[in-house]
Structure 1
């Protein structure tokens, strides 16, 4: 009751009440800022991880010792491993893509429709056109940012140039072919939307010269003067792929899954590179940034805790006579400590709860707030070219939020101990001497 009374200011105590209110606001701002910033950092990491691993597997397998022609058999063996979701094979190469007066270096990936359907992020991201009848389309799919850069749209022609072309007596000549844009997709990540071009597997194998013609089993070598029909009957075309992406159930279970895949009987030799190795620098930088931001922003709550100390010390000075009267009426030093501990903790508690609610509201509506500010003031917040993503993601981690709330409440309580102890040490005689 007494602690609650001290929190309600009278006119002559307005200054102390203002200090306490500002301290409460400081705690609320600190807690809300920490929740919002950590939620946005979690959102960035989660979105980047989902999109990177939505198109690139948790493992990338490259063949060694021989050409990767037995890829279908290899996929069947790997998908049978416990913990493997699915595997996707593809042909990949770097080319120069040209549109209407503009050119850009792109990565072309050849993939068949069966494997394409496994990549839900890509398959469901078509904004123009669609991936139906993909194997028979003989066209390409490009990201919307790449389409803007090349100045092309659905149904337009894109010319791709591969420097590793045909051999002539004068050397190698570039291979130039044109393909129709059948799909314009948007996965929401700048790197993929501006760099990757997809085409059906067989045209990609043909373009990158990844098809071998070998004699059928039991077939005798043909006469050099054999007709085209005889050659087609005697030889079969065997395509190969560049690599394979392996997707597993638990992205963090890398070490165990690597051993399981390596232990598959009869599996051809493969070089396995996991997603952490491919993106080690990037995700390490994100983790360091999260730790640094948490540490720096925690200083706001620490400063608010020091404000609790200063406001309580002022309150103790102002309530010296009250403390003396309470002591003469039989209040123990423990009672006096409890009064001021409750007062200071209440300031921290109200500030923490207010910041908790405010932080959750802002974190849950981060993208809407970004759009409102951008549209109102005409500024671009979090440009996609810099932050990789086309929207501002936010994911609230309630374990992290609990840590923030507990930390704020703990600092608020610890800040009350010294002023409350000083109040309990007041000598009633000295306090009342000049009253």
Structure 2
């Protein structure tokens, strides 16, 4: 009788069903392993909170930047074109025509701007007086649609002003009431400079949702602002002889025409991020050198600080995930210590060191994977509904959370950036995977004899 041939056995390959079963078993604690289970649960909660907090905070900061950028650039151009000397721009209609002919320019708006003191029935405060014409007003949809009282009809011919709602409340005025604006750089007399003073009715009250504009801006019709700031010069009409010495005032007025000037021209482009390319195009379209400032130069300090804050917040909040990763190390080290006899039995049954390494790596990585997924879902839910949540909490506590007086906007904005969300997920998975390697390495290095003696 011939001897039966031995049955060939093959060890399970990497990431086999056997390894997944053992790793899953180690995630389910028995009664005597409750302490390890509590540590594992706290580690899972730490990963969830770290991922969710990062997603919510970064989404709010993205929304904050987008909202501010949209509102600031909705009223102020992406480029401001002024004379090199900083004086009034006399041929601004021709400059506007040249600029609007540049490819990539949506429109150009001439404006007049200066500072003044505005006073009403309740108080007085410093303001920025800005002059625009009706054609420009039609292009500024954010300003035109922000009117809450009054209207912009026949703006050029109107003898009134438009002010923000917060400024109206501070001055104690409403539609039809008068305010007085005083410019210290008035008429020069032998006794000094006399302030220019105008009293005008309030025709429009607007609310842009940004206290910076709603509290400090006063809009005038373009020609009214030019006269108020004396941005004009009397010049002889073409083809008319200069009046003689004995000419009457009427003859002088008939011989001269008023050449109005603008402070500058604001240019709105299709791609605000293409600063360098558009600046070269704008300069090439003009017939002489101009001082051209882009929106990044004019708001450099503000947006640079905002960018630094985003980076710092990302680094600081990433420490929450890092702490959770260290908790994974602690929990797995305790698990390896507790499972010493089990590891020794597995080794004597034929499990390799690589298999033990993979089992405990999968155990730690599973904590990070589940925590990251739950944190992702929780973070996205909060980021999408952050404003209703803020309003609800503020109403329940009767405390103003995110007050617009400090944050320049009426609500708490949020904009989810898919790239940043993916970065947060990869960061969490990477840290938790790396955290599981050291305890898994210790488990793989455990001597079976020492493990059986535990």
Alignment partners' CA distance in 1, 2:88 and 2:329: 72
1:135: which partner in 2? 156
**Contact 2:40–2:328 at 8 Å: present in 1 too?**
yes
Match of 1:262 among 279, 283, 287: 283
Please report the RMSD computed on the Cα atoms of aligned residues, expressed in angstroms: 1.7
Alignment partners' CA distance in 2, 1:281 and 1:67: 27
Alignment partners' CA distance in 1, 2:375 and 2:95: 54
**Contact 2:84–2:290 at 8 Å: present in 1 too?**
yes
Alignment partners' CA distance in 2, 1:431 and 1:67: 88
Bigger mean CA deviation after superposition, 226-235 or 423-432? 226-235
Match of 2:404 among 384, 399, 406: 384
Deviations 1:246-275 (A, max 9, x none): 1222222111111111222x5233111111
**Contact 2:44–2:368 at 8 Å: present in 1 too?**
yes
Deviation (angstroms), 1:132: 2.5
Deviation (angstroms), 1:232: 4.5
User: Which runs of 5 or more residues in structure 2 are unaligned?
Assistant: 1-20
User: Which runs of 5 or more residues in structure 1 are unaligned?
Assistant: none
Alignment partners' CA distance in 2, 1:8 and 1:187: 56
1:188: which partner in 2? 209
Q: Secondary structure at the match of 2:128?
A: strand
- Equivalent residues in 2 for 1:14-29, closer than 5 Å: 14-29=34-49
Alignment partners' CA distance in 1, 2:276 and 2:53: 37
- Equivalent residues in 2 for 1:112-127, closer than 5 Å: 112-127=133-148
Alignment partners' CA distance in 2, 1:139 and 1:101: 19
Bigger mean CA deviation after superposition, 359-368 or 347-356? 359-368
Alignment partners' CA distance in 1, 2:450 and 2:190: 109
Deviation (angstroms), 1:380: 1.9
Count of residues paired in the alignment: 433
Deviations 1:352-379 (A, max 9, x none): 1111111111111222222222221122
**Contact 2:76–2:266 at 8 Å: present in 1 too?**
yes
Tell me the TM-score normalised to structure 2 length. 0.91
Alignment partners' CA distance in 1, 2:159 and 2:403: 35
Alignment partners' CA distance in 2, 1:242 and 1:383: 34
Match of 2:302 among 282, 285, 299: 282
Tell me which structure has the larger Cα radius of gyration: 2
Alignment partners' CA distance in 2, 1:303 and 1:171: 69
**Contact 1:74–1:268 at 8 Å: present in 2 too?**
no
Match of 1:407 among 424, 427, 430: 427
Deviation (angstroms), 1:177: 1.4
Match of 1:161 among 182, 191, 195: 182
Deviation (angstroms), 1:160: 0.8
